[in-house]
Amino acid sequence: MFWALVTLVLTFLPDYIEHKNIHLPHILEIIIVIFIYAGIYLSVRFELYYLVFWWDDVLHTLSGVIIGFIGFIVIYKINGKYCMDISPLLVAVFAFTFAMTMGVIWEIFEFAMDAFFAITMQSWDLPQDSTLMGQPFQGSGLRDTMTDLIVNSVGSLFTSIVCYFLYKEERKKALTLMHEIFPET
pLDDT tens-place values along the chain, 185 residues long? 777 787 788 878 878 888 887 888 888 888 888 998 898 888 888 988 888 889 999 999 999 999 999 999 999 888 876 777 889 999 999 999 999 999 999 999 888 888 888 777 776 555 566 655 555 545 667 778 889 999 999 999 999 999 999 999 988 888 888 888 887 65
Q: Is 131 exposed, middle or buried (0-12, 13-18, 19+ CB in 10 A)?
A: exposed
Residues in the chain: 185
pLDDT at 137: 47
Asked if 125 and 144 touch (Cβ cutoff 8 Å), the reply is: no
Name the pTM for this structure: 0.83
- pLDDT, residue 140, reads 67
Q: How far apart are CA 71 and CA 120, in angstroms?
A: 29
End-to-end alpha-carbon separation of the chain, Å?
40
Cβ(163)–Cβ(95) below 8 Å: yes
How confident is the model at residue 81, as a pLDDT? Answer: 67
For residue 100, what pLDDT is reported?
Answer: 98
Confidence at residue 129, expressed as pLDDT on a 0 to 100 scale: 64
Q: How far apart are CA 76 and CA 178, in angstroms?
A: 7
The pLDDT value recorded for residue 27 is 86
